[in-house]
Amino acid sequence: MTKIEKIVLSYSGGLDTSIILKWLQETYGCEVVTFTADLGQGEELEPARAKAEMAGVKDIRIADLREEFVSDFVFPMLRANALYEGQYLLGSSIARPLIAKHLVGIAREVGADAVAHGATGKGNDQIRFELAVNALDPSIKVIAPWRQWNIRSRMQLLEYAEKHHIPVPSDKRGEAPFSIDANLLHTSTEGKSLENPAEVAPDHVYQRTVDPFDAPDAPEIITIGFERGDPVSVNGKAMTPAALLTEFNELGGRHSVGRLDLVENRFIGMKSRGIYETPGGTILLAAHRGIESITLDRAAAHLKDEIMPRYAELIYNGFWFAPEREMLQALIDHSQAFVSGEVTLRLYKGSASVISRASPCSLYSADLVTFEESAIAFDHHDAEGFIRLNGLRLRSWAARNGR
């Protein structure tokens, strides 16, 4: 095994990463620095500090990354209307490059030669962490204990904890829990009964959205302000990016917006089934498309839609810090110069529907489209020629086919 001098571990304070911390200290016999980030997962961070202290960690890093997460990762992605396989809002995918960026930053600061993460060998997250580290600092090694140690089952994991006096909370003693990943953008739940895609997900997997049957009978109307493609206010009140997303999560959760039961194709090769809850993201996607509908030129909008699946796949596959993602981002960001204005939506029993939109930069012309008499010069004879020429090749083709 290669000699490692110092490791920065992505540490949640949960059972798995506590075991990983111990295993790293034992296996490499070197200093481990822990890094715990608040991405809006809704968990206290101080318990992680206490646990790291108990494990003898001298350098404990804790950071609130919520604003950076939303303004530098979630909002740029939303500008693209990114969806993986047509449906997934990429809530886990977009968080990994941010965590990797901070792991690398701390590693450089403290002179560590490796970073470590608790992602398993079958998932996408290991790829996302490691490709990001590769792209940010090729001199830093990555340690993935789940791929290296001999622990192969939940039982063995608990045994290791007992043996090393790592406290196992009572709810973690029985069968394996769901695998949950949460942040300000989403909650993702996988594993257990969800592994059978033919089985309906039990109600208790949902954590941040109410059941549509229990949602209020009265719809709620909200107005979102956009500037250059990014949301900046709700109901006329300006807020920071993280505060806005928090607010939309609250609103969406109450009205059951943003639930998704999906079978997706993992980059590593297998299909997996997961339950996603992305209340705020779902509202913002609808609203962003609403404001784009009046502010983007047709060809610009269609080009964005063409590259979107490619862009989403890059993020899903872990290529956030790759040159081609940055190139596409430049194109997307350029398109947003006039994507400003206000969109009003109705939240009602699981849906977030755009009901009106307005912009000082609107390309929409009621005068041009109206069925009534219009002041704008539009020669109806032009349409005749337009259709005649577009139909030219269709007439030749149909005649040849003998229709």
How far apart (Å, rounded) are the C-alpha atoms in residues 373 and 140? 68
Nearer to ligand ARG (CB atom), residue 175 or residue 214: 175
Active site residue 96: yes
153 is catalytic: no
- The rounded distance, in Å, linking the Cα atoms of 209 and 214 is 10
**18 a catalytic residue:** no
DSSP notation for 35-73: EEEESS-S--SHHHHHHHHHTT-S-EEEEE-HHHHIIII
Strand, helix or coil at 356?
A: strand
Q: Interaction with ligand ARG in 74-93: which residues (CB under 6 A)?
A: 92-93
Q: How far is the CB of 32 from ligand ARG (least distance, A)?
A: 23
Q: Which residues contact 166 (CB under 8 A, 6 or more apart)?
A: 15, 18, 19, 22, 160
Residue 347 CA to residue 223 CA, distance in Å, equals 11
| Separation CA 155–CA 303 (nearest Å) | 51
Amino acid type, 172: K
Catalytic residue among 179, 293, 351, 362: 179
Residues 172-191 that bind ligand ARG (CB under 6 A): 179-181, 188-190
Rounded CA gap, 359 and 264, in Å?
Answer: 37
Q: C-beta of 167: minimal distance to ligand ARG in Å?
A: 23
- The nearest distance, CB 122 to ligand ARG, in angstroms, is 10
Respond yes or no: is residue 188 known to be catalytic. no
Q: Report the nearest approach of ligand ARG to the CB of residue 115 (Å).
A: 19
Query: Which 107-136 residues touch ligand ARG, going by CB under 6 A?
Result: 124-125
> CB-wise, 108 or 122, nearer to ligand ARG?
122
Between 187 and 359, whose beta carbon lies closer to ligand ARG? 187
What part of residues 363-392 is at the interface with ligand ARG (CB under 6 A)?
A: none
Q: Which residue out of 49, 61, 66, 96 is catalytically annotated?
A: 96
Q: Which residues from 250-279 bind ligand ARG, rule CB under 6 A? A: 272, 274
The CB-side HSE value for 185 (13 A sphere, CA atoms) comes to 24
Contact set with ligand ARG (CB under 6 A): 92-93, 124-125, 179-181, 188-190, 272, 274
Active site residues: 16, 96, 125, 179
